[in-house]
Amino acid sequence: MEKGILIAFEGISACGKSTQINYISKYLNDNEYKFTKTSWNSDEVISPLIGQAKKNKLFTPITWSILHATDFSRRYFEEILPALEENRVVLADRYYPTAYTRDTYRGIPANYVQNLYSFARKPDIIFFLDLPPEKSIERRLKRHPNLYYYSSGNDVNPLLGLQPSFMKYQNNLYSNYRELKEVCNFSWIDATQEPDKIYQDILLELEPLLSRCVKQG
């Protein structure tokens, strides 16, 4: 049996992943479970390089794919794997399905992306927070009115404005996630519900998995 519990959260923009990870973090802390959090594009060495490349619009599809995979691999071997070896719970804000949906949108072959992340352990459960694309744009503009070049997929749709490009991007990502639903065995969660109800739905599936994890003390 593999050590630890690896829990990943996926979804399109503004689906509420961060809120749910905060809820689950509090639950784990209150119940004295040892846990580690990791998020997409957050490695201390690679993330600044990604930020600079975004700022200066330097990415090609292949450099986008490789640099994000490098960020992931560094976090995997330096954060995720050591935590699992200690029988911790790992909460991953995005995992390799994010790379698949975003990279293939930019024209990278699916088998290339799959091979690039083939070293990574499969999560014990992947929660997909299901938010329709039209709700995504509504929430995103309400919370953060400014849209950005790469997060709107404008590098693929340079003739579109940021808002129509963002909508096209989110629709495509959503379709890509639906293609992965059975392959990745997503736990499909209705993200249009109130946050507390989403949390209860997640907890119902999560609690049975926690028996093999280490508590504090």
16-60 per-position pLDDT tens digit: 999 999 999 999 999 999 999 999 999 999 999 999 999 999 999
Residue boundaries of the structural domains of the chain = 5-212
Q: 23 Cβ partners below 8 Å, 6+ apart? A: 195, 199, 202
Identify the pLDDT of residue 143.
87
Identify the pLDDT of residue 22.
98
Calculate mean pLDDT across residues 76-89.
Answer: 97
Q: Which CATH architecture has domain 5-212?
A: 3-Layer(aba) Sandwich (3.40)
Identify the pLDDT of residue 144.
85
Calculate mean pLDDT across residues 151-161.
Answer: 95
Identify the pLDDT of residue 217.
60
Identify the pLDDT of residue 88.
95
pLDDT of 212 > 80? The answer is no
Provide the pLDDT confidence category of residue 145 given band limits of 50, 70 and 90: confident
Calculate mean pLDDT across residues 129-149.
Answer: 93
Provide the pLDDT confidence category of residue 150 given band limits of 50, 70 and 90: very high
CA distance 166 to 153: 6
Identify the pLDDT of residue 5.
96
Identify the pLDDT of residue 65.
98
Computed over every residue of the chain, the mean pLDDT equals 95
Calculate mean pLDDT across residues 3-22.
Answer: 97
Identify the pLDDT of residue 151.
95
